[in-house]
Amino acid sequence: MLRQYELVDLVKSCDQDADEDALNRAYVFAMKKHGAQLRASGDPYYSHPVEVAGILTKFKLDCASVIAGLLHDTVEDTDTTVEEVRQLFGDQVASLVDGLTKLAMIEQKSVYTKQAENFRKLLLAMSEDIRVLLIKLADRLHNMRTLHFLAPEKRTRIARETLDIYAPLAERIGMQEVKSELEELAFCELYKEAHDSIIARLNFLREQGSNLVPKIIETLKKDMEENGVKCQVTGREKTPYSIWRKMQQKNASFEQLSDIMAFRICVDDIATCYQALGIIHSKYHMVPRRFKDYISTPKPNGYQSIHTGVIGPENTRIEVQIRTHEMHEIAEKGIAAHWAYKQGQKAEGKNFRWIRELLEILERASNPEEFLENTKLEMYNDQVFCFTPKGDLIGLPVNSTPVDFAYAVHSSVGDTCVGAKINGEIRPLRTVLQNGDQVEILTSKAQHPSTEWERFVVTGKAKAAIRRYVRSSKRDQFIVLGQEILEKMFKNEGLEFSEKGLLSVMPNFEAESINDIYAKVGEGLVSGWDVMKAVYPAYKQSKLEKVVKAIKVPTFQKKKKNTEPLKIEGLIPGMAMHFAGCCHPLPGDRIVGIVTTGKGVAVHRADCKALERFAGEPERWLDIAWGEGAENQNHTGRLKLMLSNEPGSLGEISNIMARNDANISNLNIVYRTVSYFEIMVDVEVKNLDHLNSVIADLKSSKVVSYVARSA
């Protein structure tokens, strides 16, 4: 652990104007506040913030950041308040500490929800000051270095969170060293066998070619010197995690990877970079599709370098990276390499495009979990680079489509896009974009996001925007439906319906407006009877209660005593029964019955999503099963299909149905483009096995690209 004077010396070596008194006071304050607290390793707890501060000095951060590193856990884990930190160490330090403090008081049940809410707060804090993220990365780095002291379950959760969120965040601000170490520590915890296997293979390679790397470095140096290029040449091995990830992505074995060894040539200026590239390509054979120029097209985090794969010295396949010394410094240390805080300045995270995009996702997400899911999608770094018609560069994840491109340009462009021209040709919106494509988005004010888009977009920003629109349009429908339900119910009971009455009971239903009540009733989250009871409390002893009692037929009392499932044909004589249109149950499915007012029993599949709305009404559930002979009659199953938009496609579907002794009873075209269309088909079959047989035959057809049973 760093001693007090050692930490002060490290800070002053980077910043001669550092406030030595404040550093000393913060060091002592952290020790006193954490007092007798111990870490899982048995070390004093204050050793952790001191080590975090030490990591921050290696980032060459300013004095305020190091002080915040010393105090980052005091508000969360001791009786310290943000206001106390503000009084003792100033606004800047207090703001940083507050941004780093987890939401210790949130009471959500889900660990995942807590994680999502904490990350949401972190994002908002780092959008105001990017130093919050750098301190958080230092905190996570030290926690990962000491992860082995924790219980296995906690180790796994923290390692997964590190791999999903913090390593990509480090990559986004260009901190390659931090990203690589976080990935390695998490990889070793989550995939121990794979990690150890790759380490063993790397050790074997080192033994086999112990003098190979020095030979290649010497040869490359000689090649440069002979052509008058002054440079520094180094060799490196890819990290075990990056090797494993590439094996997964390319479905390749360890031996098939060509760039396990990489050699870096650092020169003085950009012109010399291209001169060095010419020398390498003129002397060695280039490996096809292994060339990338990140100097002319930098990565979103500012990374610049030329990468090329060649059959190099000693007839070995290697990757050569060519960059300037300044590019190398930025590649390794990212944002910390050109620091803006030496004069006490504050760099707003909003200046970074990727943070602005995450803030847009936050604004559109309906809950913290959805935000975290879309954020993970947004942060992975495999990218394709496409151009607008004006030549602006847009970086997108691999497998992105024109819809992703449209939302990357601007949210309003995404919301109104109706088509796209890729390299001058009109192409479907689901087309996968390739490196170098020029994309022109066609828009219409009459267009709105389509639910179909969510099936093929890959960026978190696009998914968040589509989901927000769908939620909004569904809410409008629920409001109209809920109002109709309440008006009809009040009228049937002979009661006056007025919005004034609803205003008085809004707190009962945690509603901020009358529309909230309508929406909850329309969606089935609140019963219309409950709203009526709230508006007319005295009315609960009259006709309304009789209706409720009438629903509770004697069968329910019988069910408590006898756990044997009721047969469908054995329901109460005369009770109406129908199959639910939301899930189309078939013999072979597990089923349940729901008593509905005026409509008898609705038979649902046991996994039907519509059952969630009846979770709080156990008296309406019936335990039922298929009776004998159920398979002797036809039942309707519903399929969702994606077909090629070409002559004969529907005829092919009809032939397949006939071949399987099934009959189409209804067909609806849901969505149509130039190249494909999506349809919903109601098909009459005997049972679940019969439907699965039809699905299997459909999947074998060349005109069917997708088929599944519709919920």
Catalytic residues: 76-77
The secondary structure element, H or E, covering residue 232 is strand 232-237
Q: How far apart are CA 115 and CA 504, in angstroms?
A: 37
Spell out the alpha helix ranges (H) of 553-669: 555-561, 649-659
CA distance 273 to 306: 8
Closest-CA residue to 197 (of 279, 147, 253, 263): 253
Interatomic CA distance for residues 382 and 435, integer angstroms: 12
Q: How far apart are CA 637 and CA 237, in angstroms?
A: 56
Nearest to 452, CA basis, from 433, 430, 472: 430
The four Cα atoms 267, 268, 269, 275 give a dihedral, to 10 degrees, of -40
Phi and psi at residue 457, to the nearest 5°: -75, 155
Beta carbons of 611 and 593 less than 8 angstroms apart: no
Instruction: Return the SS3 of 322.
Output: strand
Q: Distance between CA atoms of 12 and 20, rounded to whole angstroms? A: 8
CA atoms within 13 A on the CB side of 657: 20
DSSP string, 120-155: HHHHHHHHH-THHHHHHHHHHHHHHHTGGGS-HHHH
Instruction: Count the residues in the chain.
Output: 711
- Quick one: which of 68, 33, 34 has its CA closest to 53? 68
